[in-house]
Structure 1
Amino acid sequence: MLGVWALVAFVVVIVVWNALFKRNIGESMIMGFLAVCAFAVFGGLPEGESAGGAIRAAVLDSLQEEVTFAGLAFVFMSFVLARTPVLDRLIDLLNSVLGRLPGGSVFTATVAGGIFGAIAHVGAAVTAAVGSVTVPWMKKSGVRPELAATVVAGGAGMGVSFPFSATMFILVGGLAAQGAMEPDEIVKPLALAGLWCLGYRLALAYWLVRRNKIAPIAPEDRLPLRRSLGNGWTSLLLFVPIIVPLVLTRGPLATALGNWSGVGDDLKSPVELADGTTLPAAPFAMPDVISLITWIPVLMIALVFVLGRKHLPRTASGWLDTIGGAAPSFGVIGVTIVAAFSASNLLGDLGLAGQLETVLSGLDAPAWLMAIAIGVIIVAIAIPLTASATMAAVGPVAVIALAGAGVPVPVAAAAVLIFASTEGASPPSGAPIYVAAGIARVDPVKMFVPLLKYYCAPILGMGVLIATGALPV
């Protein structure tokens, strides 16, 4: 059971280094990987493998993963997007449409949180961007400051519950390294899971508006629809880089394009690719030739450059300053992803998959009970850690445990990410809580019970329903 003990050490080291010693997650992941390396060096690998060779191969494989590129690309895109007014114009557009309704400020904050989450993904950033505009609107509409802050902080988790967050890439990379799932398989179930969570938040917003008799946004605080649409219609193009690759790889257009290009034709013999991978003699599909997790960030970055061109640097020194500002985020996320993949590869060499299968085969628990247990564990771990750190530490193991109870791996992965998305609504350590409290000028302690009652516990329940198939994805 060497692999299982190495996994335990990996998780413990990350939690202690990050939560107890207050070090960043990148450094914590390095320490966790070094702990796994120690097991490879002193515990021994299967006969014929050297520890040094296995460690070197694990790191090299992680550096060559397309998920590593995609994770860093999305970090860069989010950083550049934050330097433009594109998302602010999108909020103005939402406010023009929803603000005239009773409680329109609450609905605007909820929908904007979903849209920002699907694009920017960082919980604290989503809270800051949405809250800085919508919290004053809510307070003017008669919403209590602690409730306004709760709504904004409760929406932070949508940065994790929609593709393509760094947290998703960390989880998917670990699963792909173990051969449990292809990266593209998570996109559809996670997108649908995210929509279920957004639907719940909208239903909650409706109930809160009715219960608290919240008024519409005052006319002087919202732009006429024609004006906001004229100023911000281009912000709606942010969804094009997501829609185009999806249409080209799935559905009738993808089938027609595949047949026309010959991608769907039967292959008479195996094909060896440039990287040494051998494809079997079987029909290709469009997702084999157009990678969603590669092309979506590439197209998104290109579009942000076009939409925000007037607000981005125009000199080499300006771009050096911009890239320098993004460097800390690149460093932490990059190290986290590479360390997570490397650890997964090395744990595989230590026989973790087979050992976990042996352990899980002894657990005769139904899927619903396993989902509840895993959900509670992940929510508990996500209180001191971030969602990314939680997925790096226990994400792949949680998915495999659910798969052992009969849950399809992509569905299990979506459910686990939904569990982890409670980080922003899990008192007392979620960063979005304090960001929202600062904007609303309220004691964050007053938000703890509402966050647990309105967001944390219900989202945990939704993850269980997704894992058990009650909410189809």
Structure 2
Amino acid sequence: MPVALIALFVFLVVIVVWNVVIKRSMAEAMVIGFVATTIFAGLQAPQVAAEAIVAASDNEIMYAAIAFIFMTYLVERTGTITRLIEILTAALGRLRGGPAIVDTVASGAMGAVAGGSNTGNAATSGVITGPWMTRTGWSKARAATVIAGNAGLGAALPPSASMVIMIGFAGSLVTTSSVYIALFVAGVYQFLIRMVLIAWFVRRDGIQRVDDEAQTPVREAVRRNWPTMLIFLGAVVPVSITIGPLADLLATSPLADAMGSVSLITWIPVLIILISAIVGWRELPRTPRQWWEFLGGAASKYYAIGALLFFAIAASEVLTSLGLADDVDRLLGPLDIPAWLLVVIVGFFVVLVAGPLSSSATLSAVGQVSLVTLVAAGIDPLLAVIAILVFASTEGASPPASGAIFVASGITGAKPEQTFIPLVVYYVLPFFILGVLIALGIVPVPIT
């Protein structure tokens, strides 16, 4: 009897019902889902639960996630993202279709340095670009479609909570640096596809170039906000010393042992936090009371995301102890399914779950079984991880329950249902196909 698969099914049902039907938080849903999976251990349930909690507490991914959560909070609170968008607006705003281009680049920048949620991505960039688009000839529905479609870049580019979750599930099958680089390349593919879509929308809808005399000159925007761009060093420096020519040089130096212990998922958020604090020091609290309120705002993020990640890791430990990998092998063994068809089935499954759930919640629920299934079918573990992340990044564009759709529609004044079909055609389907092609090795990503 496939106990682990049944436990996984119950886990998924509990999460969806508790979050989507009962409308409670995903953190609560994950706790209840964890408890539900432990019941399948029978008389060993208390021991299995205790071991899973200990394993989650010792997991490096958990501590990296804590750093990522605070990093995202600090970047937003210090206004770093707002100042980056001001530079992008000045540099790209006068191009034909400029507001949509700014939204795309800004969403990519937020994904690369803040790792925020897709819904938050849509809100942060869209509040500026949405009204700007509708004012310069874009229809409300098209503007909302672009904003919601671009929101997926929050999860498509590293670092992100989704990436951290999948690295935790993959364990020794992949390295953090290899996932970071491969996901970055996959994210660039997504970015380029979005830019092509904007060019198509501009031509199809007859969007004209509009000169806005009130727009800040590029030189002035850069002069005021250039220190903000230093935040990208928080990602560039750790990646450079772990991969590439500089890493090879350091490997032969007296610093070789120290460099070998550098963890991307630890040092990227730490450096971005330090740079953000230095660049945005004027926005930091001054008094103990202000610091208490500031840290209190961060604490709410830990409850929402930290609890989700902790119990997702703990639930995955329980499913592993129940024999999930063996159950998948027994299920797939007798079946003669081509690898490409299995990838399509898994991808469709992930995209379907990502409809009502966020990308991080989706991967918490089905990331492990999706990975085990693809690896069992002979897909390279790294390619499997990247493909699953690409599938889950469609969350922002997946109707009808995606938060990004309703945020974008609220900003632009569009009817949400007017965006459903365009989002599926222009954003969900292309990135679903991209994920399939990456898993099959047809679209290349670096394998290191």
Same-fold call, TM > 0.5?
yes
What is the one-letter code of the residue matched to 1:255? D
**Structure 1 equivalent of residue 344 of structure 2:** 372
**Structure 2 equivalent of residue 88 of structure 1:** 82
CA positional deviation for 1:362: 2.6
Q: 1:207 aligns with which of 200, 203, 214?
A: 200
Partner-residue secondary structure (3-state), 1:314:
coil
Q: 1:450 aligns with which of 402, 406, 422?
A: 422
Please give the per-residue CA displacement for 1:115-153, whole angstroms capped at 9, x wherever unaligned: 112223211111111111111221222111111111111
Residue 162 (structure 1) aligned with residue 134 (structure 2):
no
Q: Is contact 1:173-1:183 (8 Å) kept?
A: no
In structure 2, what is the Cα distance between the partners aligned to 1:355 and 1:292? 33
Q: 1:361 to 1:89 in 2, by over 3 A?
A: same
Q: Is contact 2:149-2:427 (8 Å) kept?
A: yes
Please give the per-residue CA displacement for 1:281-311, whole angstroms capped at 9, x wherever unaligned: xxxx94x410000110111111111111101
% identity of equivalent residues: 40
**Structure 2 equivalent of residue 124 of structure 1:** 119
CA positional deviation for 1:379: 1.1
What is the one-letter code of the residue matched to 1:220? E
CA positional deviation for 1:180: 3.8
1:104-253 correspondence runs (5 A)? 104-120=98-114, 121-176=116-171, 179-253=172-246
Q: Which runs of 5+ in 1 are unaligned?
A: 43-49, 265-284
**Structure 2 equivalent of residue 257 of structure 1:** 250
Q: Is contact 1:153-1:436 (8 Å) kept?
A: yes
CA positional deviation for 1:336: 1.0
In structure 2, what is the Cα distance between the partners aligned to 1:364 and 1:68? 38
Please give the per-residue CA displacement for 1:93-115, whole angstroms capped at 9, x wherever unaligned: 11222222211122111111111
Q: Is contact 1:84-1:312 (8 Å) kept?
A: yes
What is the one-letter code of the residue matched to 1:146? A
In structure 2, what is the Cα distance between the partners aligned to 1:130 and 1:326? 21
Between the two proteins, the alignment pairs up a number of residues equal to: 443
Q: Is contact 2:154-2:160 (8 Å) kept?
A: yes
CA positional deviation for 1:422: 1.0
Q: Is contact 1:154-1:425 (8 Å) kept?
A: yes
Q: 1:400 to 1:406 in 2, by over 3 A?
A: same
**Structure 1 equivalent of residue 280 of structure 2:** 308
Partner-residue secondary structure (3-state), 2:379:
coil
In structure 1, what is the Cα distance between the partners aligned to 2:237 and 2:179? 17
In structure 1, what is the Cα distance between the partners aligned to 2:181 and 2:335? 29
**Structure 1 equivalent of residue 23 of structure 2:** 22
CA positional deviation for 1:8: 2.0
**Structure 2 equivalent of residue 56 of structure 1:** 50
Q: Which runs of 5+ in 2 are unaligned?
A: none
What is the one-letter code of the residue matched to 2:25? N
**Structure 2 equivalent of residue 270 of structure 1:** none
1:264-279 correspondence runs (5 A)? none
Q: Is contact 2:111-2:157 (8 Å) kept?
A: yes
In structure 2, what is the Cα distance between the partners aligned to 1:73 and 1:250? 22
1:356-395 correspondence runs (5 A)? 356-395=328-367
Q: Is contact 1:3-1:352 (8 Å) kept?
A: yes
What is the one-letter code of the residue matched to 2:91? V
Residue 294 (structure 1) aligned with residue 266 (structure 2):
yes
In structure 1, what is the Cα distance between the partners aligned to 2:413 and 2:256? 57
Q: 1:189 to 1:361 in 2, by over 3 A?
A: farther
In structure 2, what is the Cα distance between the partners aligned to 1:290 and 1:444? 45
Please give the per-residue CA displacement for 1:33-63, whole angstroms capped at 9, x wherever unaligned: 1011111134xxxxxxx54333212111111
Partner-residue secondary structure (3-state), 2:24:
coil
**Structure 1 equivalent of residue 72 of structure 2:** 78
**Structure 2 equivalent of residue 46 of structure 1:** none
Q: Is contact 2:78-2:277 (8 Å) kept?
A: no
Q: Is contact 1:105-1:216 (8 Å) kept?
A: no
Q: Is contact 2:39-2:45 (8 Å) kept?
A: no
Q: Is contact 1:174-1:340 (8 Å) kept?
A: no
1:32-47 correspondence runs (5 A)? 32-42=33-43
| Larger mean Cα displacement after TM superposition, 80-89 or 30-39 | 80-89
CA positional deviation for 1:221: 4.1
CA positional deviation for 1:331: 0.7
Please give the per-residue CA displacement for 1:165-186, whole angstroms capped at 9, x wherever unaligned: 112222222232xx54444442
What is the one-letter code of the residue matched to 1:345? E
Q: Is contact 2:168-2:313 (8 Å) kept?
A: yes
TM-score, structure 1 length as denominator? Answer: 0.90
Please give the per-residue CA displacement for 1:306-333, whole angstroms capped at 9, x wherever unaligned: 1111012112211110111222221121
Tell me the C-alpha RMSD between the 2 structures: 1.7
Q: Is contact 1:361-1:404 (8 Å) kept?
A: no
In structure 1, what is the Cα distance between the partners aligned to 2:177 and 2:313? 17
Please give the per-residue CA displacement for 1:258-281, whole angstroms capped at 9, x wherever unaligned: 2112637xxxxxxxxxxxxxxxxx
Please give the per-residue CA displacement for 1:219-245, whole angstroms capped at 9, x wherever unaligned: 324211110110121221121010100
Q: Is contact 1:124-1:435 (8 Å) kept?
A: yes
Q: Is contact 1:384-1:429 (8 Å) kept?
A: yes
TM-score, structure 2 length as denominator? Answer: 0.95
